[in-house]
Homo-oligomer: A and B are copies of this chain.
Amino acid sequence: MSEHPRSDLIAADTHGTRTHTCGDLRPENSGEEVVLKGWVDTRRDLGGLVFIDLRDRHGLTQIVFSSQMNEEAYDIAGKLRSEDVISIRGTVQDRSDSAKNDSLPTGHIEVSVDDICVLNTSETTPFVVTAHDDRRVEANEDLRLKHRYLDLRRPELQKNLALRHRLYQTTRRFFDEHDFLEIETPVLTKSTPEGARDFLVPSRMHPGRFYALPQSPQTYKQLLMVGGLDRYVQITKCFRDEALRADRQLEFTQIDVEMTFATEETIYDLMEGLMAALWRDIKDVELQTPFPRMPYREALETYGSDKPDVRFDLKLNDVSDVFAECGFRVFESIVDSGGKIIAIRVPGEGDRGRSAMDRLEDHVTKDIGAAGLIYFKLPSDGSGIQQNVSENALPTEYVEQAVEQVGAETGDLVLVLAGDAPTVYKQSGHLRLHVAKELDLVPEPGEGDDQFLWITDFPLVEHDEEEDRYVALHHPFTSPHPDDLDKLDDAPDEARARGYDLVLNGNEIGGGSIRIHQRHIQEKMFDVLGIGKEEAQDRFGFLLDAFRYGAPPHGGIAFGLDRLVMLLAGANSLRDVIAFPMTQSAQEPMVKSPDWVDPQQLKELHIRLELPDDVEPPQRTHSRLAS
């Protein structure tokens, strides 16, 4: 056995249960004998006294060891280091006025220690762990993830996880009050087609077959409605084998909801109630309901996005008509071929210098991927329009019309992109966001008023150019708008869906739909998506069968819980609201997953590796550890 360093300090805990946490004590506790347990955050030695900030999840409490009070305890205290774990018994006393710390809830008291038990010692940590923000040294994220148990001691992460806990509680209570049942759906299931890759789990008992981890419990929750469960909610893990981004993990948590006899209005009303409850409980803010709604087309054409951030203006303006016959060949040919010319008025930026405009052009061509940026400056000295295309090519009269149409005034800047719709709308949306960030129009995470928005009237399907067929915009179970049923045959991409997304500050936080509940419409939908009868029966026979036997109308929604917590916490990354996140390379560097396994395990699963030439498996076998 390799003994712990300084293990001679460690002693059995003779103090019993703690009487308070490190965040509890106040001046009214003065004179009480207390037991506290926690981590040594910082230590200061001061002529016969040792001061320690003792830390736990609830806060910091200053404890004082005096050589006069208990020399043995004082001696031990002198040997303590950061992150040692101790239990102390002592007496609460008021601090002198000069020693009071108003920034800590416990800052008006301290505990004079009678006795100490060192419960465990700590080696020097690989990075500094402390509740004192001013002392924190930034360490690289990989190191933090490798020692996540140390990073988790930071009050900021603990605060986020506590907020997440509060969100679970409020969410579940809300749904309970509205007669929903929390019901668990299987994790080992068959693939549901959400468009992403499935994680597969080989079956040992059924050679050659695989379970799949759910991308969402979509079909199961619909079957619960067919089963008469009426109202379902579940906070559940979902899985998508996709490249990781800052706002996505391989496994993510979803608030999953489904209701029988629901219409769009039922869903909007209830979910606005949920958001109001969350904002009330967590941010102490009363949200104004109902939330505004915007059709998908308007969002795309006004904000260049299906998740517009409406906290600032910089709207898109269609100036195609102005330039339809302006003589500038680039514009004319785009308008001729059905494309769009989009202008954004940027107030107060008419004096931008050449290099700033060059950087913007660079961003437009390199990051946004547009062919080029055309702009008109209206300098604040009133010297008239400056344009980056010569007046010969693009006559000023047309530019003046466009400037007037977008409402630009002296001192403003007008940015113009042109191209095929909907591409140019999306590019303009990116440009809008980029400029807004440049101009500090986008509040920092956690700052500013939160703006909710329902996006409605999504198209049912869109045409996938690469595969030359239609794919569902949400998923194949979304009901077409009843007025557009006849479009399914000839122009399915013109049919509207009964789908909706909830957008918060430019982030999609949830989405759902009223579902198809009639067999012949579901069959029609599969047909539109190019899924033959046989494949449909093979993959979704259970759902088509279920629709034979009195399937009720139903609809639902799902929220991305991780992102919701991130936005509520004002965090910058999903990794700051997940206890054990993965890195962007889909690894968990602490336990080191994924990992190689014993070849015997694979044999039992009826599979073997088929590795690229440059990958060599290590040799290892594992023992069984428990009975």
A578 touches B184 (CB 8 A): yes
Q: Which residues from chain B contact A39 at a C-beta distance below 8 Å?
A: 228, 550, 552
CB contact under 8 A between A152 and B227, given known A2-B523, A615-B207? yes
Q: Which residues from chain B contact A213 at a C-beta distance below 8 Å?
A: 187, 201
B608 touches A223 (CB 8 A): no
The 8 Å CB contact of A579, one of B149, B185, B206, is B185
In the complex, A338 has a CB within 8 A of chain B: no
In the complex, A612 has a CB within 8 A of chain B: yes
In the complex, A594 has a CB within 8 A of chain B: yes
In the complex, A28 has a CB within 8 A of chain B: no
Q: Which residues from chain B contact A150 at a C-beta distance below 8 Å?
A: 227, 549
The 8 Å CB contact of A524, one of B1, B186, B251, B608, is B1
In Å, the complex CA distance between A538 and B606 comes to 25
B201 touches A199 (CB 8 A): yes
B206 touches A594 (CB 8 A): yes
Q: Which residues from chain B contact A524 at a C-beta distance below 8 Å?
A: 1
Copies in the complex: 2
Q: Which residues from chain B contact A48 at a C-beta distance below 8 Å?
A: none
The 8 Å CB contact of A606, one of B85, B476, B592, B609, is B609
Q: Which residues from chain B contact A261 at a C-beta distance below 8 Å?
A: 13, 17-18, 37, 87, 119
B229 touches A627 (CB 8 A): no
Q: Which residues from chain B contact A58 at a C-beta distance below 8 Å?
A: 230
Q: Which residues from chain B contact A627 at a C-beta distance below 8 Å?
A: 195, 462, 464, 471-473
A12 touches B482 (CB 8 A): yes
Query: Smallest Cβ distance from A232 to chain B, in angstroms?
Result: 9
In the complex, A586 has a CB within 8 A of chain B: yes
| Nearest neighbor of A590 in chain B, beta-carbon distance | B542
Interface window among A382-390, A420-428, A432-440, A618-626: A618-626
In the complex, A529 has a CB within 8 A of chain B: yes
A550 touches B84 (CB 8 A): yes
Q: Which residues from chain B contact A591 at a C-beta distance below 8 Å?
A: 189-190, 219, 542
B625 touches A476 (CB 8 A): yes
In Å, the complex CA distance between A13 and B21 comes to 57
Residues of A within 8 A of B (CB-CB), count: 166
A611 touches B205 (CB 8 A): no
In Å, the complex CA distance between A329 and B535 comes to 71
Q: Which residues from chain B contact A258 at a C-beta distance below 8 Å?
A: none
A520 touches B550 (CB 8 A): no
In the complex, A42 has a CB within 8 A of chain B: no
CB contact under 8 A between A237 and B552, given known A200-B202, A529-B625, A606-B612? no
B607 touches A552 (CB 8 A): no
In the complex, A83 has a CB within 8 A of chain B: yes
Interface window among A168-176, A313-321, A368-376, A566-574: A168-176
Q: Which residues from chain B contact A153 at a C-beta distance below 8 Å?
A: 227-228
In the complex, A603 has a CB within 8 A of chain B: yes
In the complex, A487 has a CB within 8 A of chain B: no
In the complex, A188 has a CB within 8 A of chain B: yes
Considering only residues 566-604 of chain A, those with a C-beta below 8 Å from chain B are 578-580, 582, 585-588, 590-597, 601-604
In Å, the complex CA distance between A219 and B592 comes to 13
Q: Which residues from chain B contact A596 at a C-beta distance below 8 Å?
A: 208-210
B226 touches A149 (CB 8 A): yes
In the complex, A241 has a CB within 8 A of chain B: yes
In the complex, A147 has a CB within 8 A of chain B: yes
Interface window among A158-166, A282-290, A296-304, A350-358: A158-166
What 1/0 mask marks residues of chain A from 174 to 199 whose CB sits below 8 Å from any chain B CB?
A: 00100101111111111101110111
The 8 Å CB contact of A517, one of B120, B161, B176, B230, is B120
In Å, the complex CA distance between A551 and B83 comes to 9
In the complex, A250 has a CB within 8 A of chain B: yes
B597 touches A184 (CB 8 A): no
Q: Which residues from chain B contact A519 at a C-beta distance below 8 Å?
A: 2, 4
CB contact under 8 A between A626 and B195, given known A153-B228, A206-B587? yes
B579 touches A224 (CB 8 A): yes
Q: Which residues from chain B contact A273 at a C-beta distance below 8 Å?
A: none
In the complex, A610 has a CB within 8 A of chain B: yes
Q: Which residues from chain B contact A220 at a C-beta distance below 8 Å?
A: 579-580
In the complex, A452 has a CB within 8 A of chain B: no
| Nearest neighbor of A545 in chain B, beta-carbon distance | B147
A1 touches B521 (CB 8 A): yes
B3 touches A520 (CB 8 A): yes
A611 touches B601 (CB 8 A): no
In Å, the complex CA distance between A353 and B375 comes to 105
In Å, the complex CA distance between A170 and B545 comes to 36
In Å, the complex CA distance between A354 and B253 comes to 63
CB contact under 8 A between A122 and B550, given known A1-B523, A12-B482, A205-B585? yes
7 example contacts (A-B, Cβ-Cβ < 8 A) are as follows: A123-B549, A148-B227, A165-B182, A188-B250, A220-B579, A475-B625, A603-B610
Using A2-B520, A39-B550 as known contacts, list a sample of 20 further A-B pairs with CB atoms less than 8 Å apart, ordered by residue number in A. A10-B518, A120-B517, A122-B549, A149-B223, A149-B226, A149-B549, A164-B183, A169-B172, A169-B182, A183-B579, A187-B187, A191-B595, A193-B626, A200-B602, A206-B586, A208-B596, A210-B595, A475-B626, A539-B622, A542-B590
> Nearest 4 CB-CB pairs, A to B?
A152-B227, A122-B550, A195-B626, A83-B550
